[in-house]
Chain A
Amino acid sequence: MVENKTYIQSFCTIQNNEIILEGASIFKLEPTLFSDFSKKAYQNFEMNYPKFFKMDSLSKLAFLGAELLLKNENSESKENNTALLFANNSSSLDTDVKYQNSISDPENYFPSPAVFVYTLPNICLGEISIRHQLKSENSFFIFETFNPVFMANYAKILLNSNKAEKVLCGWVEYYDEEYKAFLYLVAKEGNLEHKIETLLTEYNK
């Protein structure tokens, strides 16, 4: 395969009650629960998308990151072929545990469809696709830790095989109030070269 250079057009990190966009802190709260933090971030950036409140924590986390990186990408006139390539460690375990609790007591057995639907990690890709009308390639992977080698390779394959014009990559880990999101948009043009070292440096900041 011909190796064309690819570039990181934008990136953001969400962790410890703080959102960092292109290296600069743009929103920060004193320590609080994720439900509170995510709601205030949503309000702060005037996202105006009531479905947000129906999402589980993993989807909220992924949604917030995608919102910041894709808000300038949406266009009425042209379809946006941005693929979604996401991964994490805990899959949807936070919601899995919540759902399991709803069926573990025979005296109080009320499985919730609205919880069950989030017991799949790729639901967050569906949420982002709906919000930004991305009828595009999407896939969700599980790794021990952020795997920049795989992510970079797969993103390049999607771009070089013309399966996508851009790729929104994301590490979105959430389990029981512990969370970290690192999202970045990869394309064939840009200033910051899409390199494994760069990804690692920005991820670890």
Chain B
Amino acid sequence: MEALKQELKEKIIDVLNLEDIKLEEINDNDALFGDGLGLDSIDALELIVMLDKDYGIKLVDPKEGKVIFKSIETMAAYIKENRAK
């Protein structure tokens, strides 16, 4: 689980081009959207693509993303439960 969280932080910084943010600045329970990392609607869509591409998870309803992408903690838990690769 720790390794997965670490991996997710790296991927998020890379995929979403968060050049100014360092790995250790992201806490497991920080809000990814809104006041936290300040991600926006395009980032949310990009995370849906990432789930599909890297973990074989297809979100049928994009609204599910709201809950899943709350924090690194919630993302990691969801991926662990649902991953197909």
Contact = CB atoms under 8 A, between A and B. Distances in A.
Judge A-B direct contact (beta carbons within 8 Å).
yes
Interface of A: 39, 50, 53-54, 110-114, 117
Mostly, the A contact residues are helix
Contacts, number: 28
Interface residues of B, number: 14
A113 B46 contact: yes
B20 A114 contact: no
B49 A117 contact: no
Contacts of A112: 46, 49
B18 A53 contact: yes
Contacts of A113: 42, 45-46, 49
A107 B46 CA distance: 19
Contacts of A110: 49, 52-53
Given A50-B21, A53-B19, A110-B53, 10 more contacts: A50-B18, A50-B19, A50-B38, A53-B17, A54-B17, A110-B49, A112-B49, A113-B49, A114-B42, A114-B46
23 contacts: A50-B18, A50-B19, A50-B21, A50-B38, A53-B17, A53-B18, A53-B20, A54-B16, A54-B17, A110-B49, A110-B52, A110-B53, A111-B49, A112-B46, A112-B49, A113-B42, A113-B45, A113-B46, A113-B49, A114-B16, A114-B43, A114-B45, A114-B46
